[in-house]
Structure 1
Amino acid sequence: MAADLEEKTDRYERMLADALAEAEPRPPDGTPLGESAADCAEMAEAYLEDGRHFRDEGDLVNALASFSYGYGWLDAGVRMGLFAIPEDTELFTT
């Protein structure tokens, strides 16, 4: 069981980091939608940092939860049209 949790935690960390690298804010900065995109990206980055902290402390359950929440913020932003993503990516539910 522990190996499964460790593998899943590592996979979700990579997935969130990759998603952050691929998602480009679509609306211009300074507009309401641009601010929403920035907020989503900021939340996802904060959850990535939190997850890494939890993992470093040996708390894989909270690390996985953090990575999952961060990914959820980005995925929701993509679905709302706040981010442009590559057409060939499978990281998001479009």
Structure 2
Amino acid sequence: MTADLEEKTDRYERLLADALDAAEPAAPKETPLEEGATECLEMARSYLEDGRHFRETGDLVNALASFSYGHGWLDAGARLGVLSVPRDGHLFTV
């Protein structure tokens, strides 16, 4: 079971890191929507950092949860249209 958790945590960390690299703000400048896009990206980055911290301390369950939550912020931003993301491939569900 630990090997499965390690593999899944690795996979979700890569997915979040790659998704963060691919996501870009798509909202009009100097609007509340731009603030929302910025917040989505900041939250995703924070969850990536948190997940890496949890991994370093051996807490794979919270690492996996952090990576998943981070990706959720990106997916939400993409679905709301405040983030531009690739529509093909495996990074996003939109």
Whether the TM-score (by the shorter chain) exceeds 0.5 is yes
Q: Give the TM-score normalised by the residue count of structure 2.
A: 0.95
In the other structure, the counterpart of 1:40 is: 40
| CA-CA distance at 1:56 after TM superposition | 0.3
Root-mean-square deviation (CA, aligned residues, Å) is: 1.0
| CA-CA distance at 1:85 after TM superposition | 1.6
Q: Quick one: distance in 1 between partners of 2:67 and 2:85?
A: 19
Q: Which is worse superposed, 49-58 or 21-30?
A: 21-30
Residues 49-86 of structure 1 show CA distances to partners (whole Å, capped at 9, x for unaligned) of 00000000000000000000000000111011011122
| CA-CA distance at 1:87 after TM superposition | 3.6
Number of equivalenced pairs? 94
Q: What is the aligned-residue identity percentage?
A: 70
In the other structure, the counterpart of 1:75 is: 75
Q: Quick one: distance in 2 between partners of 1:29 and 1:85?
A: 18
Aligned residue type for 2:71: Y
In the other structure, the counterpart of 2:20 is: 20
Report if the CA contact (8 A) 2:86-2:92 is conserved.
no
Secondary structure class of the residue paired with 2:91: coil
Secondary structure class of the residue paired with 1:72: helix
Q: Which is worse superposed, 22-31 or 36-45?
A: 22-31
Aligned residue type for 1:31: T
Q: Which runs of 5+ in 1 are unaligned?
A: none
Report if the CA contact (8 A) 2:26-2:83 is conserved.
yes
